[in-house]
Amino acid sequence: MHDPRPSRMARRKVKAKTESRTVVYSDREPSAFASMLGGLIQANVENSAAKKKDFESLAAKVGIWVTDIDEGVTLDFHSGSLVVHNGLHGKRDITIRAEADTVMNLSNLKIGLFGMPVYYDEVGRGVAAKLLRGKLRIDGLLGNLATLNTVTRIFSVAG
């Protein structure tokens, strides 16, 4: 009940409103692909302490280009936050180019011992075969293998 006396003000603790800003979009209208990847990463990071740790350690610019729909995104990881851009932007550490199916399969790679993606099960073999056949191209792979593994772990919905 409201206390009318002037000296007895209600003292409700007001919490600073902390909006989750893990993933932000640089474009006013993020593309469907950008929203999907951003949403996927946000959900993964929120649901897994291991992925959150990876996310907080990752500082890299990663491009993903889907060759059969001619759309792409740039994921700009800043040690605990991510800016998603429509299209490929600026100098990137890694750029992945593949068809839509393969991009989805990258998210289905299982993570095995020592946090390494598993390439010997059905999904892994499929991804490796695409890499060998040139259907999956990873520019900047040399020198950024650890970054690629971290990104794969953050993406993965399979483990």
Partner 1 sequence: MAVKAFSDEWAKQFKDEVNKSSVYKSAAKGWKWTVGLVVEAEPDKNFAEPKGVVMDLFDGEARDIRVGPAADAQKCDFVITAPYSRWKQVATGELDATKGMLQGKLKLKGDLPTIVRYTKASQEMTECTTRVPVEWPDEK
- Residues found near partner 1 in the complex (CB under 8 A): 31-33, 35-36, 39-40, 43-44, 47, 66, 68-69, 71, 100-101, 103-105, 107-108, 157-158
The vertex-121 CA angle with 140 and 65, nearest 5°, equals 30
CB of 90 to partner 1, least distance (A): 22
Rounded to the nearest whole angstrom, what is the least distance from the CB of residue 44 to partner 1 in the complex? Answer: 6
Q: Closest CB to partner 1 among 66 and 144? A: 66
Minimum CB separation from partner 1 for residue 64, in Å? 11
Of 59 and 122, CB closest to partner 1: 122
Nearer residue to partner 1 within complex by CB, 3 or 70: 70
- Helix or strand (DSSP H, E) at 129: helix 122-132
- Classify residue 139 as left (phi > 0), alpha (psi -120 to 50) or beta: beta
The smaller minimum CB distance to partner 1, of residues 60 and 66, is found at 66
**In the complex, least distance from residue 127 CB atom to partner 1, rounded to whole angstroms:** 13
Least Cα distance to 77 among 49, 107, 57 occurs for 57
Nearest to partner 1 of 59, 104 (CB atom)? 104
23 contacts 58 by C-beta, under 8 angstroms: no
Find the shortest distance in angstroms from Cβ 21 to partner 1. 18
- Report DSSP letters for 11-80, one per residue: -----------SEEESSSS--HHHHHHHHHHHHHHHH-HHHHHHHHH-EEEEEEEETTTTEEEEEEEESS
